[in-house]
């Protein structure tokens, strides 16, 4: 898994947040556009792209994009 590719996939779930604004250190829960539907989209993207089923609690406990990436990477078979 590659963090840059992950950020591109992550950014794709937003409409008004440019990918260049996102870094591994971004605290994504604080993004203006972040919402429950975007959270569900990110969970669905991770399921589709990486074959990983993320729980709501795992999504919530990840603070930065890097945290989320690490959680997904740990669950990739």
Residues that bind another protein (CB under 8 A): 35-37, 40-41, 43-45, 47-48, 55-57, 59-60
Shortest distance (Å) from residue 49 CB to another protein: 11
CA 64 to the chain's CA centroid: 9
Cα 62 to Cα 44, 48, distances in angstroms: 16, 19
Do 16 and 31 meet the contact criterion of CB atoms below 8 Å apart?
no
- Residue closer to another protein by CB (options 3, 38) is 38
- Residue closer to another protein by CB (options 1, 40) is 40
Shortest distance (Å) from residue 37 CB to another protein: 4
Q: What are the phi and psi torsion angles at 35 (to 5°)?
A: -155, 175
């Amino acid at each position: 898994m590659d963090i840059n590719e992950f950020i591109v996939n992550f950014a794709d779930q937003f409409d008004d947040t440019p990918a260049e604004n996102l870094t591994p250190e971004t605290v994504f829960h604080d993004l203006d556009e972040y919402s429950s539907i975007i959270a569900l989209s990110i969970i669905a993207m991770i399921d589709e792209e990486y074959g990983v089923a993320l729980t709501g609690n795992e999504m919530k406990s990840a603070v930065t994009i890097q945290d989320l990436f690490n959680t997904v990477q740990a669950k990739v078979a």
